[in-house]
């Protein structure tokens, strides 16, 4: 239904969209939030940022990671992983994933994904993304069919 003239009570859909923009579906750190010239430094900075953002203490994080992995993770390990100066103490992939799980912070996984031109998106969006891809495929097929019909029409007497 169209908005009547001088109707100040009905909100336009576009007005609503302007007030509440569509959120970014990709998960990651804000631009410039995790800096570093190398992947190692960016990962260490991300580890540091995510632990600082967490309400859990490093001791609690270490305990939860140890339980999750079935191996000992100490506060010292976490401090080393968060240090951009400690190149010899890089966080192993399994521990990075465990840290993301314990902190409930999938942003940690975005650092590596971005390095290979990918993004991290919540699983709940998977079907919506597939639907969008299917719609795009239908659009391309429809354009191709229209083109073929047009060419066929030109060939008919």
What is the separation of C-alpha 27 from the centre of its chain, rounded to a whole number of angstroms? Answer: 2
Please, where are the H alpha helices in 1-125?
13-19, 39-53, 58-69, 75-81, 93-103, 107-115
Answer yes or no: do 103 and 130 share one domain. no
Answer yes or no: do 92 and 137 share one domain. no
Domain assignment present for residue 135? The answer is: yes
From CA 82, how far away is CA 85, in angstroms rounded?
A: 9
pTM of the predicted protein model: 0.74
| pLDDT the model gives residue 6 | 65
**In 3D, which of 94, 116, 97 has the Cα closest to residue 107?**
97
Note down the domain range covering 75.
26-119
From CA 47, how far away is CA 27, in angstroms rounded?
A: 15
Domain count of the fold of the chain: 2
Answer yes or no: do 115 and 130 share one domain. no
Answer yes or no: do 76 and 127 share one domain. no
Domain assignment present for residue 16? The answer is: no
Answer yes or no: do 42 and 82 share one domain. yes
| pLDDT the model gives residue 75 | 97
Average pLDDT per consecutive 10 residues, the chain (157 residues; last block may be shorter): 59 69 82 90 95 97 98 96 87 96 96 92 92 94 92 73
In degrees and rounded to multiples of 5, residue 24 shows phi and psi of -70, 125
| pLDDT the model gives residue 73 | 97
Which of helix, strand or coil describes residue 146? Answer: helix
Is the separation of the CB atoms in 19 and 96 below 8 Å?
no
Is the separation of the CB atoms in 26 and 107 below 8 Å?
no
**Quick count: other Cβ atoms within 10 Å of Cβ 98?**
21
Answer yes or no: do 114 and 128 share one domain. no
């Amino acid at each position: 239904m169209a908005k009547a003239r001088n109707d100040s009570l009905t909100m336009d859909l576009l007005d609503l969209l302007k007030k509440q923009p569509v959120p970014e579906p990709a998960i990651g750190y804000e631009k410039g939030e995790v800096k570093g010239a190398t992947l190692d430094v960016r990962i260490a900075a991300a580890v540091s940022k995510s632990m600082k953002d967490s309400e859990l203490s490093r001791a609690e994080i270490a305990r939860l990671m140890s339980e999750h992995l079935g191996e000992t993770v100490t506060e010292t390990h976490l401090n080393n992983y968060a240090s951009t100066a400690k190149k010899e103490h890089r966080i192993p992939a399994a521990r990075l994933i465990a840290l993301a799980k314990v902190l409930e912070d999938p942003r940690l996984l975005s650092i590596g994904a971005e390095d290979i031109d990918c993004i991290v998106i919540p699983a709940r969006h998977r079907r919506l993304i597939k639907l969008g891809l299917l719609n795009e495929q239908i659009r391309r097929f429809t354009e191709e069919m229209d083109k073929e019909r047009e060419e066929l029409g030109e060939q008919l007497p």
